Structure 1
């Protein structure tokens, strides 16, 4: 399935390279070069995904991401020349679904875009996921066929990374998952240097599924090991 991708990149050569790569992949693309134009393009074009440079003029990428997460439900892949972990984690905490640090290969970027689109439900699901059964634990219901999450019967909006974590944990309630295992569910085992990003996902999930995120009863920490989803409420 083709997707419409908004590329927000102030480096015109980089933006054109991304645009050409997207067209070769069968997608369509809109290119803008500052954050204000990015937000305007989102409203006008309703893209399936935003490739968002962190260092945009007018409104920076973090500011754009903050507005998108407040007003929209569009996957965001963040591009950054900053390799500092705190900058990356801030982007993830604001709701970015994935990130790449510069320099990167266009081939890897296209692979990441395919992954984010698939996990967000913006492209056809893999056959095994389309036929997947609903899993339930701790009052959480995850329906892979419809890509929906319910908590005590109410819908829960999740980023693709949060969804993958819940799907894995609800399928095996009471199993303790390490950060590395959860990272493999969301982005691949070769991204071990970003294991702290899992803590951000867990923090955000607790805000969505716990009555008191500071005293969780569903999504529990197993100190020194990782996290588990309690099966007591399933």
Structure 2
């Protein structure tokens, strides 16, 4: 589904998040509307049928899980992505049992939410996922394996815990190997051109990712600094012939 055809309804009581996401999606030509709470979500959907609903779990009054359950019990099958705290694993489990199509832990980047939205809409339309990550959607570098379909990073056979920002940054780097990416370009790719994130914030995100990937983060080999410009992902080859090596 092309971005121009997507219509998103965000249900969240966080005004700052609503404003950030509205700007991000509108800059990309995506129709975007909001509800401040879930009390009248059924009435809203009777008047407006977006492509997808992004529904926060924790809200005053009717919470997101209750709203989702009510929608599904009424027979409404509109795609729904739940926004949850990273710590609230039970909310994710309950949300999926109630009929959520996906969940996204806070904090997250707008780019990550857009990727989830497109994936959910592809599943609903029966379209295959784009083959941007090789045949199996897996990248190997050194001892690491990044599975884009599962949104998971493994070192040998051990899964490495990633925040939303960790994952989004790593995906950008892995899909642009041996390419010098300026801090400005990275910020644009992750957050959009008008995001209120400084280059110092980008440096901090890189530093955190280096702590997961580098044997010695103070002397990085995988995520190299290009002095005065930005960063370059310089992976070692760990491929096995069946998965994409970078």
Q: TM-score, normalised by structure 2?
A: 0.50
SS at 1:20 equivalent: helix
Deviation, structure 1 residue 40 = 2.2
Deviation readout 1:111-167 (Å, 9 max, x if unpaired): 11111111111xx834999xxxxxxxxxxxxxxxxxxxxxxxxxxxxxxxxxxxxxx
Is residue 94 from structure 1 mapped to residue 98 from structure 2 by the alignment?
A: yes
Distance 1:127 1:52, change over 3 A: closer
SS in 2 for 1:36: coil
Structure 1 residue 88, shift from structure 2 partner: 1.1
Distance 1:36 1:83 in 2: 25
Unpaired segments ≥5 residues, structure 2 = 132-146, 154-158, 162-246
Q: CA deviation at 1:38?
A: 2.5
- Alpha carbons 1:18, 1:106 under 8 Å: kept: yes
Residue 24 in 1 paired to residue 27 in 2?
yes
Contact 1:21 1:110 in 2 (8 A): no
Structure 1 residue 5: Cα displacement: 1.1
Tell me, what secondary structure is at the counterpart of 1:35?
coil
Q: Which has the larger radius of gyration?
A: 2
Aligned counterpart, 2:110: 106
Alpha carbons 1:6, 1:41 under 8 Å: kept:
no
Higher-helix-fraction structure:
1
Structure-2 change in CA distance of 1:69 and 1:17 (3 Å): same
Runs of 4+ aligned residues of structure 1 deviating over 6 Å after TM superposition are 191-194
- Root-mean-square deviation over aligned CA pairs: 2.7
Q: Which residue of the partner structure matches residue 190 of structure 1?
A: 152
Equivalent position of 1:134 in the other structure: none
- Residue 86 of structure 2 contacts residue 107 of structure 2 at CA under 8 Å; is this kept in 1? no
Provide, for residues 55-85 of structure 1, a one-character-per-residue CA deviation record: whole Å limited to 9, x for no partner: 1222100011101212211010000125232
Distance 2:71 2:89 in 1: 22
